[in-house]
Amino acid sequence: MQQFQIEPEQVLTVSSLTDEIKLMLEEQFEWVSVRGEVSQPQTSRNGHLYFTLKDTGAQLSCVMWNSLRQQLDSPPNHGDEVIVSGSLQVYAPHGRYQLIARSIQAAGLGALQLAFEQLKKKLQAEGLFDEKRKRALPRYPEVIGVVTSATGAAFQDMRHTLEKRYPACEVRLYHAAVQGQQAAPEISEGIRYFSEREDVDVLIVGRGGGSLEDLWAFNEEIVARAIAECRIPVISAVGHETDFSISDFVADARAATPTQAIVIAVPDQNDLQMKISDIQLTIEKRLLEILHHRKETVSRFLDNYALHKVKQRISRQSETIAWQEKQMAGILQQKLQQNRDRTRRLADSLSSLAARYLMQRKSDWNALHHRLLATDPNALLKKGYTRIYQDDQWVRSAERFQSDRRFEIEWADHKTTIG
C-alpha cells in the first residue's frame, strides 16, 4: 500500500465532512424540480409519504410531509410519471440525501395544457370557431356516421340510445384509435372518408371520458382541420360534460357526452308520435268543421225545386242501375252453373280414364312379375332339385364332372361339400 504524508490539520471527521456536503447541497439546490417515475410509494403511520423517484440511470429518495400530502388531489401511484418540486436535504446520521417534496404533478400535463391554449388561440384567430361558419344539423337524418373506436363503450352507448330514440336511422361506423400516437391520423382519415363519400347526413366524432392525455387526439390540429373541412355537419362528443377539446370548438355542434350526441342528432320517436297525434286531431277537427258547414249548405238547398228534380232523376237512375245489376247477377249465376257442370263432367271423364289406365298398368305389372318368376334360376331348387359345383363353377353336364375331385351340392336352403 502506498504511503502518503498527511498533515493532522487536513484530516476531517465524518461529521464535519458531512456538514460541509450538507451545506453545499442544500444551498445549491434550495429549490429544484425533478422528473421521473414513482417507485414503491408508502405512507407512514404519521401520514408522511415516502417514495423513490427514478429513471433509467439513477434513483432519488423523496419524502412529502403529512401537511403537504393532505393537499394532494390524489397520491401518486407506482409507475406514474411525475414532476416533483422541492429542496434537497442531507440526512447526516445515514449519510444520504433526499428530496423534500413540496408539490407533485403529472408529467407533461402543463405542457399539454400550454399546447392546448396555443392551438386554441391560433385556430380562433383563423375564424374556425366562428358561429357563422357552423352549419345547422338535419332535423330527420336517415344515416349517421360515427368516427370512434369499435371496441369502446362510447359506440355501444350511442347505438343503444339510437335504437331506443330513433330506430329508423341507420348508423355507420369508421373504426379509429381514440388514444395513442395513431389516434389523430386515424380520426382525421375517418372524417375525410365520410366527407368524400357524402353518404351520411350528420357525423359524430368522439370517445368516452379520460385524462387530458387520453383525450389529446381530439386536441390535435390535424383533427381540427379535418372537422373544419368536412362537407357534412359534425358533432363533437369527447369525454364527459366537463371536458372540452379543440374539436368541440371547431365542430358544428358540441355534445357533453357521446350519448348526448345521439340526443342532439336525432329526434325522439315518442315526441314525434305525440306531434303526429296532435296534427291528426287538428286535421280531424278541421274536417268535421268543414263537413258541418257543407251539411248546413246542403240543407238550405233541400227545398229548392231544381234540386228536387235532380233528386228524382238520381232516384230513377238508381232504380235502373239496380235492375241492371239484378239482370247481370242472374246471367253471371247461369254462367257459373254451366261452368260447374262442365267441370264436373271433365272430372268424371278424367277419373274414368285414370282408373282404366291404372288397371292396364296393374295387368302389365302382373304379367311381368310372372315372367320374372318363370325365369328365376332358383325356382327348380325350391322344387327339390340340386346343383353341383366344382371350383365354384356350376357343373351343367356329366362330361364336365370330375369324380375324383371335391364338389359341392346346393339345395334351396343349404350347401354341402363332399370329398
The pLDDT profile of the chain, 419 residues, written as one tens digit per residue, is 555 566 666 678 888 888 888 888 888 888 888 988 899 999 999 999 999 999 888 999 999 999 999 988 778 888 888 889 999 999 888 888 999 999 888 776 666 776 788 899 999 999 999 999 999 999 999 999 999 999 989 999 999 999 999 999 999 999 999 998 899 999 999 999 999 999 999 999 999 888 778 889 999 999 999 999 999 999 999 987 777 899 999 999 999 899 999 999 999 998 888 888 889 888 988 988 898 888 877 777 666 666 677 777 888 888 888 888 888 888 888 888 887 888 788 878 888 888 888 888 888 888 887 777 777 777 777 777 788 888 778 777 878 877 778 888 888 788 788 77
Q: DSSP H helical segments within 246-304, as ranges?
A: 246-250, 258-265, 269-300
Residue 87: inside a domain: yes
Q: Are residues 122 and 36 in the same domain?
A: no
Residues 247 and 117 in one domain: yes
Please choose, from the candidates 216, 253, 218, 220, the residue with its C-alpha nearest in 3D space to the C-alpha of residue 147.
218
Q: Is residue 356 part of a domain?
A: no
Exposure on the CB side of residue 96, measured as CA atoms within 13 A:
8
Please identify, among 245, 267, 289, the residue that sits at the C-terminal boundary of a domain.
Answer: 267
**What is the model's pTM?**
0.49
Query: Under the phi-then-psi rule, with left for phi > 0, alpha for psi from -120 to 50, and beta for the rest, what region is 136?
Result: beta
Domain final position from 107, 131, 164? 107
Q: What is the sign, positive or negative, of the torsion defined by CA atoms of 34, 39, 45, 47? A: positive
Among residues 267, 287, 312, the one where a domain terminates is 267
Task: Kindly state whether residues 128 and 244 are assigned to the same domain.
Answer: yes
In which domain, by residue range, is 93 found? 11-107
Is residue 70 domain-shared with residue 172, that is, in the same domain?
no
Same domain, 226 and 183: yes
In this structure, the answer to whether residues 82 and 165 fall within a common structural domain is: no
Count: domains in the chain: 3
262 and 246 part of one domain: yes
